[in-house]
Structure 1
């Protein structure tokens, strides 16, 4: 099946120079349209950033039937996709915009737009380094636990929890202590890495393995403090109590219940 494609490098709508110019437009004059499944998962961090930044945003979801028929345009046949358009009346960009794909690119782009990549180039690189390692932890979950035969999922889950998550927590606890155990990865300000870690902890302790994962993360005080700091950010706290967010969470729990070993799965 050939899926409908979105223009990415094409100049049929805007030239490369015009796209670069559009990216210089102030946030308040842009609309960010974010498409992802009605789930938490990979789209969560970019949603959090748009909420935190008080952006002009819209969260959209593909229709299942259209998706199955390849009628939902994407860049790589995957989601999320972010559309950026100029909302100013009579702007030369009116009705036109650009598209970004890949969760890590979208997250990092939005973090830069909304002040979550530190105060200088070095801090930006450090934050992106922590973010990348956090992001990879989620990807290893898919390869270790989900994308395996069902009879191997429990073994994969146990190895993932006992080896990979433990090593991740030890590594990140070390660096967070090195930053003074102040609840932030870099300096003393909220960053992309902080929000992404909060999402990963929430994902594992709410959506997939509940108390088992929660207990593991809570053993690491500096790491847990990052989650608590993010949870206290007013805009993010309000968003995570919203009916929309809870709908994403409930749908995720239902999906992963059928695709991941629950924490109380009996021994074979």
Structure 2
């Protein structure tokens, strides 16, 4: 049986709902920020209604991994999405966060792709290393090369673009969400060795601009957010 995420019989419903902005949403994921962080922040920035459904596995998901995402239209129609990247891009298209034209969308996608690549490299390098000496060596390599290169190139672009808190244009886009997420990762693993208001003001502006959006700022003050942050730091090493 074709999974609901990919069932052609549901295409008409999917295409109809994808154009609406009055739906409610449910994110099924762990009780940490992790790979659900950007999805949640996009929804918050868009002013959308959503709930967090805390789960620890999802064997019914098409690839057996989470997050799993559900959208319910105002008239009760339901669609499901899977895979973090696909969910994020879907939501940014829905809420007009993909740039104002093809040029901007391509630029946004390039920065998103680079941030994802660095994050994936970090995952492979950092997790699963338990020996303290080896872990220290990994952190040194991340600080001096992997993260350092990301910080250098992104800070330079953002500075050249006017340090307005956005990677492309003057509106919040997927590149900003991924950039802010990577900033949290780098700060958690390397402290202020690479990123700080003085060292990287343009990158810092991306983070502060995003978290000054009223709905996002309000979320960071909730007990749920604080719990996710504490567990995220304990399990993943960053807030």
Q: 1:105 aligns with which of 78, 86, 90?
A: 86
Residue deviations 1:118-174 (CA, integer Å, cap 9, x gap): 211221221122112112222111111113453522211210121111111111122
**Which ranges of structure 1 fall in alignment gaps of 5 or more residues?**
89-93, 261-268
Q: Which has the larger radius of gyration?
A: 1
What is the aligned length? 234
Q: CA deviation at 1:196?
A: 1.9
Q: Please list, as runs of the form range in 1=range in 2, the aligned pairs for 1:142-181 lying within 5 A after superposition.
A: 142-148=123-129, 150=131, 152-181=134-163
User: What CA distance in whole angstroms lies between the structure 2 residues aligned with 1:230 and 1:215?
Assistant: 22
User: What CA distance in whole angstroms lies between the structure 1 residues aligned with 2:129 and 2:59?
Assistant: 28
Residue in 2 that maps onto 1:265: none
Q: Please list, as runs of the form range in 1=range in 2, the aligned pairs for 1:162-241 lying within 5 A after superposition.
A: 162-205=144-187, 208-209=188-189, 212-218=190-196, 219-241=199-221
Residue deviations 1:96-138 (CA, integer Å, cap 9, x gap): 4222111111111111212221211221221122112112222
Is 2:21 aligned against 1:27? yes
Q: Any conservation in 1 of the 2:13–2:79 contact (CA below 8 Å)?
A: no
**Which ranges of structure 2 fall in alignment gaps of 5 or more residues?**
none
Structure 2 counterpart SS, 1:58: strand
Normalised by the length of structure 2, the TM-score is: 0.89
Q: Any conservation in 1 of the 2:59–2:65 contact (CA below 8 Å)?
A: no
CA RMSD of aligned residues (A): 2.1
Q: Please list, as runs of the form range in 1=range in 2, the aligned pairs for 1:1-80 lying within 5 A after superposition.
A: 6-11=3-8, 14-24=9-19, 26-28=20-22, 30-62=23-55, 64=56, 67=57, 72-80=59-67
